[in-house]
Structure 1
Amino acid sequence: MIKEVIVVEGKDDTAAIHRAVEADTIETGGSAINNAILKRIALAQERRGVIILTDPDHAGERIRKIIAARVPGCKHAFLKEADATYKGDIGVENASPDIIRQALANLRTDYQRAEQLIDWEDLINAGLITHPQAAKRRRAIGNILGIGYCNGKQFYKRCGMFQISREEFLAALEQIENEGL
């Protein structure tokens, strides 16, 4: 049994979680997350801890940001878009139990006032900003680091928020460059 409560978007996501692990969930009801749900998530964080596992799409990222802003200290589990897509549909419910367990094993913690270990210049030099392949490179590095895909500004914030070390960053950069990206 996982101690923390896992926050997902809907009942199909809860079913997928239950196929993978024994855990309690809170469903946001999609992107229309309301104050009552946020209060339940805050209570769960206070008493047991919270893991946010939303879909690897725009709506899922929006929900993740809303929760993280209102409920500090949450843990984050990320799925790769390719691992959560079935017939063009992107969602936690499409991920296999093994992929969900893997995401839950590679949690990142949200440090609100974190020291920035990677600076903006590092992202530019790595071709993650203002580069013709920047989005593709950010997606690949985000998957390696376990912080998901996002735009350049959010990638920079996540590097600080999840305390990505310079060593982790450079190792991920080397890996994508070895893969020809």
Structure 2
Amino acid sequence: MLSRHQIYMHVAGETVNAVVNGATMLGHGQLADSTLLADHAAVGGIGREMFKTVIDGDSTGVFQGKIIVRQAAQKTDGKMKSDCLLLTDDGQMMNKPELEIFADDVACGHGATCGAPDEDLLFYLMARGLPKPVAESLLVQAFVGEAIESVTHEGARAALIGEIEAWLASRG
């Protein structure tokens, strides 16, 4: 299965606070490609973009993100982050975060991380009697949960949590 998500955000109002979060959970040879462009064009805008990807099996994730700060967008505060959790050695993640800044007075940053579940955390949970698959599932839920915790609509958040639980259950 192949999926592509493109998000174009134009922050044109002064002191606008824009938040875009995303979560992708891949398995069984799936490929997901996410592209984000956050274009700040007005004074004092705040942008927060956080994407979480979980890779299982031989799946592939791609994240291409760019923050543009126009010359007129002084005092912009933009942060973009893409994090990946690799559950096997067979999967891969390609991250390409970018900044393009034309203003002088901004606070912007971007970053990407990719790694396996923390062995110390797994050991901690297993030492308290949890089987390894359950412990790993809890770590995955916490990892992805960061991207959905800002969803304020109870029904939408419950639906997203249901999707995470269904994906974890499909792993066996």
Same fold (TM over 0.5): no
Structure with greater proportional strand content: 2
TM-score where L is the length of structure 2 = 0.28
Structure with greater proportional helix content: 1
TM-score where L is the length of structure 1 = 0.27
> Which structure has the bigger radius of gyration?
2
